[in-house]
Amino acid sequence: MIEDINPLIGKKHLKAIKHPFIDPISAMNIKKGKIVTAEEAIELIRDNDTIVTAGFIGSGFAEELAITLKERFLRTGRPRNLTLTYPAGQGDGKTKGLNHLALEGLVGRIICGHTGLTPGLGKLVNDNKILAYNVPMGAVTQLYRDIAAGKPGNLTHVGLGTFIDPRVDGGKLNELTKTEGEDLIILINVEGKDYLFYKSFPIHVALLRGTTADPDGNITMEKESMILDALAMAQAARNSGGVVIVQVERLADRGTLNAREVVIPGIMVDCVVVARPENHWQTFGEPYSAAFSCEHRVPMQAIPFMEMSTRKIVVRRAAFELKPNSIVNLGIGMPEGVSQVANEERILEYATLTAESGIIGGLPMGGLDFGAGINVDALITENYMFDFYDGGGLDIAFLGLAQADAEGNVNVSKFGPRFTGPGGFIDISQNAKKVCFVGTFTAGGIKTSVKDGRLRIEQEGREKKFVREVEQKTFSGRYAAENKQQVLYVTERCVFSLCEEGLELIEIAPGIDLESQVLALMDFKPVMRKPPRLMDERIFRLRRMGIKDDLLNIPMKDRFTYNAADNIFFINLENYYMKTSEEVQEMREVVGSILEPIGKKVHTIANYDNFNVSPHLVDEYVEMVKYAANFYESVTRYTTSTFLRMKLGDELEKRGVSPHIYESKEEARKVLAYDETL
């Protein structure tokens, strides 16, 4: 395999680079160590350098250094032909962030995850003035770590079937790149499976940001809203023979920083620049929030409710897909509203929201604060977050929907001549167990209202979003279908799901005419095995939907599952409180309907975590258990509650039922496996 890959890397990666650096003896003589002015630091950047910049919109972005680099170029015409590489979008969509560097001659190439917040760079791409590559955000964050480790590149499945795939565009954004640019992404087959190989390249300069630095260059980030990939970027530049420049807010004396709080060690830092306050905002939307830096938690009741709107209708329907204990990712834009609805419905505590920036738990922010969060449980680096995502750690992702086609493909990255890039969309959408795309049914000026639980279209959008073929394939419906991924497409008036044949229409809003307000506005006919059912009427009411009970109360039939391959019957009674005789009878009927047709006895595992039975129903419930036991070859029960193990165990034993209840699912499964070997 090494022989197959190495010729594709080129000598460029293997050749070390050397940059001028601050003479340590001179630095000690002037008693300031690595602390220099922004102008002195930027002087180290040379023509044709590859620069990596940290940042997530505005969080963690070294604004002072970007401004100084722009001013130097405008003053001297140098440096020229830089390559900019960065994972997330870094800008405010106007003038800040990498918009400072959108100057012809200064930039010759970009290798990035997102360009939507930097219209100046987008124009250079569209005008074929620079080479331009889009790569999935997670793949590039992991690539920086691989560059730091001296590896030839990053091998991953992320990007297969999308415009990133070399069999499509290879991530190349314009004709100049397609005709003159090298291939940075190649297709490799490993043991019969296709993968994409993202090739390493040297990093000459890293422009990073922290909060506090000492004269030795040790950097802490106590007031930053996220950690991002600063360490991996610093290591990549250092081990490429390059220069690491870090912008900070303040200085500390040598030896006073807590070693545990140092994110970038001084051995990797060449220059430290103290920024002006106006160029060191915590995010591009917030000068400083103690909640963003995890210094304190804020009351969730203080967060205002969303006003009823088309957007709220969409995210209300999406919120029905939340399940207890699920790990969730929310995309930028409309998907952010899912968290607001979850907070309104008092169900936010039952799921763990995450953001690709490294936020785990709490409430992710939106707009120019996107990537930051309040009341978070943990804050990790971007590359480790994508490791978790890529391995299947997400239960569900809520992502934007700009265009969809009959095959189930989704486009969120290209619209006419305008590129935005995928950001983390491809990594997240390809790897989440379930994906819920959210967006309006049509685009451009759509207006709706609700009355008596019914939806009215007051003004239709100007553009169709369900088209014959998406302009750019950011999500591959075929790849998802082949991998049996659950996918929903949620709009204000209808819901589609992904099936093997493509997009299937499964729900329609009350008040919407199927023919004139759905099918007539699509460029293709969706699959319809049966008439679509009505969307929940509560979505179209002004009051709270009350989905907390729905979330916590799993339907009886969904609490019992039979795995034919292993002949195991799973019973999930977690968080269930049995209060009526009708519920006991329903449970008996469900068990019988599943087990009677099998024709043989089954092994059974029952989860009794937080289960309870009303005292007056104990005898009736135990009789039902005896009935079910007639179908069991063996049974193991478990609960983490010591009280319930003792109480339920005693009641079962008194009534002649095997009483032992284990402490965990794993213990119960081990005992079952042991029994099967006898």
Residue pair 137/87 in contact by the 8 Å Cβ criterion: yes
Handedness of CA 280, 284, 290, 296 (dihedral sign): negative
Residue pair 508/535 in contact by the 8 Å Cβ criterion: yes
Burial label, 190 (beta-carbon count in 10 A; 0-12, 13-18, 19+): exposed
Handedness of CA 111, 112, 118, 123 (dihedral sign): positive
- Collapsing DSSP to helix, strand or coil, 178 comes out as helix
Query: Which residues touch 166 (CB under 8 Å, ≥6 apart)?
Result: 183, 185, 186, 187, 196
Q: Write the DSSP assignment of 255-311 as a string of letters.
A: T-S-GGGEEE-GGG-SEEEEPPGGG--SSSS-S--TTTTTSS---GGGSPPPPSSHH
Per-residue H/E/C for 575-596: CCEECCHHHHHHHHHHHHHHHH
**Beta strands 434-438 and 486-490: pairing type?**
parallel
Rounded-to-10 torsion of CA 354, 355, 358, 364: -80
**Beta strands 632-638 and 602-607: pairing type?**
parallel
Distance CA 56, CA 42 (A): 22
Query: Which residues touch 36 (CB under 8 Å, ≥6 apart)?
Result: 22, 271, 272, 273
Distance CA 602, CA 580 (A): 28
Residue type, 502: G
Distance from the first to the final alpha carbon of the chain:
45
Fill in the DSSP letter of residue 88.
S
Q: Which H or E element spans position 12?
A: helix 11-14
Angle, in degrees to the nearest 10, between helices 382-390 and 137-148: 120
Q: Which residues are catalytically annotated?
A: 356
HSE-CB of 260 using CA atoms within 13 angstroms: 0
Distance CA 184, CA 328 (A): 31
Token couple for 246 = 């870090």
Scored b (16 or more CB within 10 A) or e, 227-253 reads: bbbbbbbbbbbbbbebbbbbbbbeebe
Q: Judge if the upstream peptide bond of residue 79 is cis by omega within 30 degrees of 0.
A: yes
How many other CB atoms sit within 10 Å of the CB of residue 18? 9
